[in-house]
């Protein structure tokens, strides 16, 4: 017996005729889903590269290297592919300072395991590479399995410059290299750095007003494009002037066609500002300017606007974000995500963020994988990894975590949702229009190239029956369950399982997503 009965009439837009004939489609990054890996925290494939300088590797101390490397990633590409992901975003692979860092007053110490403290922008960090597992080898191995590589890149800053005398590289503090050249913040004869104005902590701040700096970065990152990288995620976009990004993105798009760029702009509410970066240059989103991470629409612990929605809040609140989609060049190119490495995980420990149940993971992921945008999932989500603020949100996964994932309900849900998403071009690329929202149910349609899907979401603890009118007559398949529905003129009732989703299409379905196992039948709710 369904616990809720909801009756409503869908808007006239539901009945609007689809485009007369599908257009010939071409590949773009909306075809992908992304698995975000902090490389040092994934799998240690080569213990020999863990403690190169003797003071930077401290197992269990999450401020230091934990051993993950390209070899460990290459050996476990199938874990990512088996979940259905098609692209891997890795943290910056460039060379970090040679050993531990401590600031001058001794109040902070760590190592550059994360990759955001560049020492040499055009060299790969030795903690990541091994014999037979260079960066080029990783790219080739990923491509051989049909996986794309997204490189996280930084142009705003280098490593920290306020260095304690005990640090091994103290005599070279303030120096940053790339393309065989070294620049010294403390002897800045070439005006390479900013010495006043806002900067992130004590990180060496580059002078983007210097055309030579702009050219240096363009040439560095062209090199990675030419190595075979498929996309860049751009760090700290808002810390540099739009003029820099216009030049930088234009030059990279000239160098490689259909190369995807998406940036990080830290805001959870200023969509005018965020969307502005997508319109820096005219043209299609794959070959002009950049897209951005949908930070307002994230569920990062204690910060993302959608966290409260999926932890008992009102589904209607997603419209505060989605209603502003028209401000972007194309909102279907936004990179959407549950959580990441900068805030508490969706499953917070309590003292940082709040805990998430398995069903809340289901509810959130059901949404992210059917709504507009390119879904991105942070490593460890597949085992519901607990994490507070940095560095607690950056725990080591390892082979034990990968093994545990195989029977985890969220791993199984991710695998199925990836299959559901790629079953219809409308789910990959379609424009989205809201049709209905209540506290626990949300309904929208998506259309692309003459194909249309209707998505029904239910985050309630009980099943919901939605009785709708004016749905176009025809035969529909639910991509999630495989059930078929004959819709005649008049009203039509759809039952949505607890914490479930239905995706109805009258078009062709790629594959048979409903055949994938979703969860132990007796233990937890079903997707279908």
Contact 523, 386 (CB under 8 A): no
Return d(Cα 4, Cα 513) in angstroms, integer: 27
- Rounded Cα distance between 445 and 217, Å, is 42
Domain assignment of residue 418, yes or no: no
Count: domains in the chain:
1
pTM above 0.85, yes or no: yes
Task: Please report the sign of the dihedral spanned by the C-alpha atoms of residue 285, residue 287, residue 290, residue 294.
Answer: positive
Work out the average pLDDT over 384-395: 98
What pLDDT score does 517 carry?
86
Q: What is the pLDDT of residues 271-286, one digit of tens each?
A: 999 999 999 999 999 9
Of 2-16, 141-155, 217-231, 325-339, the poorest mean pLDDT is in 2-16
Query: Residue 295 — left, alpha, or beta (φ > 0 → left; ψ -120 to 50 → alpha)?
Result: alpha
Note the helical H segments in 120-234.
135-144, 211-227
Residue 142 main-chain phi, psi, to 5 deg: -65, -45
For residue 42, tell me if it sits in a domain.
no
Could you tell me if residue 495 is inside a domain? yes
Whether residue 505 is contained in a domain is answered as yes
Whether residue 15 is predicted with pLDDT greater than 60 in this model: the reply is no
> Whole-angstrom Cα distance, residue 192 to residue 174?
11
Please check whether residue 481 lies inside any domain of the structure: yes
Q: Could you give the count of Cα atoms lying within 13 Å of 502 in the half-sphere of its Cβ?
A: 24
Of the pLDDT bands very low, low, confident and very high (cuts 50, 70, 90), residue 11 is very low
Q: Are 91 and 60 in contact (CB under 8 A)?
A: no
Per-residue tokens: 431: 């424009």
CATH number at residue 503: 2.60.40.1180
Q: pLDDT (tens digit, 9 = 90+) per residue, 481-518?
A: 999 998 888 777 899 999 999 999 999 999 999 999 87
Q: What is the pLDDT of residue 487?
A: 84
The backbone torsions φ and ψ at residue 382, rounded to the nearest 5 degrees and listed phi first, read -65, -15
Alpha helices in 120-256 (DSSP H): 135-144, 211-227, 242-255
Q: Is residue 97 part of a domain?
A: no
Compute the mean pLDDT over every residue in the chain, rounded to the nearest whole number.
93
Tokens found for residue 209: 């007003």
DSSP 126: T
227 lies in a domain?
A: no
Residue 449 to residue 461: CA distance in whole angstroms = 36
- Quote the tokens at residue 14: 């539901």
Q: Shortest CA distance to 244 belongs to which of 286, 270, 210? A: 210
In a domain, 121, yes or no: no
What range does the domain containing 455 cover? 4-22+430-515
Q: Count of alpha carbons within 13 Å of 292, Cβ hemisphere only?
A: 31
Number of residues assigned to the chain: 528
């Amino acid at each position: 017996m369904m616990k809720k009965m909801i009756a409503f009439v869908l808007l006239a837009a539901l009945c609007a005729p689809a485009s007369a004939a599908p257009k010939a489609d071409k590949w773009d990054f909306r075809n992908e889903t992304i698995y975000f890996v902090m490389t040092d925290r994934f799998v240690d494939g080569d213990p020999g590269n863990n403690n190169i300088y003797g003071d930077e590797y401290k197992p269990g101390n999450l401020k230091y290297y934990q051993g993950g490397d390209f070899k460990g990633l290459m050996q476990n590409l199938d874990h990512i592919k088996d979940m259905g992901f098609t692209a891997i975003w890795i943290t910056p692979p460039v060379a970090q300072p040679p050993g531990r860092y401590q600031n001058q007053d001794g109040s902070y110490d760590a190592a550059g395991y994360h990759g955001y403290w560049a020492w040499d922008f055009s060299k790969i960090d030795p903690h990541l590479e091994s014999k037979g597992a260079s960066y080029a080898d990783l790219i080739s191995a990923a491509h051989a399995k049909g996986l794309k590589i997204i490189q996280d890149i930084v142009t705003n800053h280098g490593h920290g410059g306020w260095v304690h005398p005990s640090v091994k590289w103290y005599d070279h503090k303030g120096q940053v290299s790339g393309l065989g050249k070294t620049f010294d913040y403390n002897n800045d004869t070439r005006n390479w750095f900013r010495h006043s104005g806002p900067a992130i902590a004590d990180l060496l701040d580059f002078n983007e007003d210097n055309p030579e700096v702009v050219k240096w970065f363009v040439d560095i990152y062209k090199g990675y494009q030419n190595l075979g990288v498929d996309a860049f995620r751009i760090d700290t976009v808002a810390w540099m002037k739009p003029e820099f990004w216009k030049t930088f993105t234009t030059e990279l798009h000239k160098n490689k066609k259909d190369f995807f760029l998406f940036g990080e702009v830290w805001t959870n509410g200023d969509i005018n500002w965020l969307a502005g970066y997508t319109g820096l240059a005219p043209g299609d989103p794959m070959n002009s300017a950049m897209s951005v991470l949908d930070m307002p629409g994230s569920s990062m612990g204690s910060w993302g606007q959608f966290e409260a929605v999926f932890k008992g809040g009102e589904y209607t609140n997603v419209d505060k974000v989605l209603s502003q989609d028209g401000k972007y060049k194309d909102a279907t190119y936004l990179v959407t995500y549950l959580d990441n490495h900068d805030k508490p995980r969706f499953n917070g420990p309590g003292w940082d963020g709040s805990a998430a149940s398995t069903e809340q993971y289901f509810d959130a992921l059901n949404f992210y994988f059917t709504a507009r945008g390119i879904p991105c999932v942070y490593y460890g989500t597949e085992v519901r990894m607990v994490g507070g603020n940095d560095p607690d949100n950056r725990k080591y996964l390892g082979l034990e975590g990968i093994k545990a994932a195989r029977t985890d309900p969220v791993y199984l849900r991710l695998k199925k949702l990836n299959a559901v998403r790629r079953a219809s071009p409308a789910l990959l690329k379609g424009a989205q229009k809201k049709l209905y929202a209540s506290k626990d149910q949300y309904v929208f349609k998506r259309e692309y190239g003459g194909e249309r899907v209707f998505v029904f979401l239910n985050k309630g603890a009980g099943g919901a029956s939605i009785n709708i009118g004016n749905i176009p007559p025809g035969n529909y398949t639910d991509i999630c369950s495989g059930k078929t529905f004959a819709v005649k003129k008049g009203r039509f009732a759809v039952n949505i399982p607890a914490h479930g989703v239905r995706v109805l299409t009258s078009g062709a379905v790629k594959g048979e997503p409903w055949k994938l196992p979703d969860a132990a039948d007796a233990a937890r709710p079903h997707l279908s």
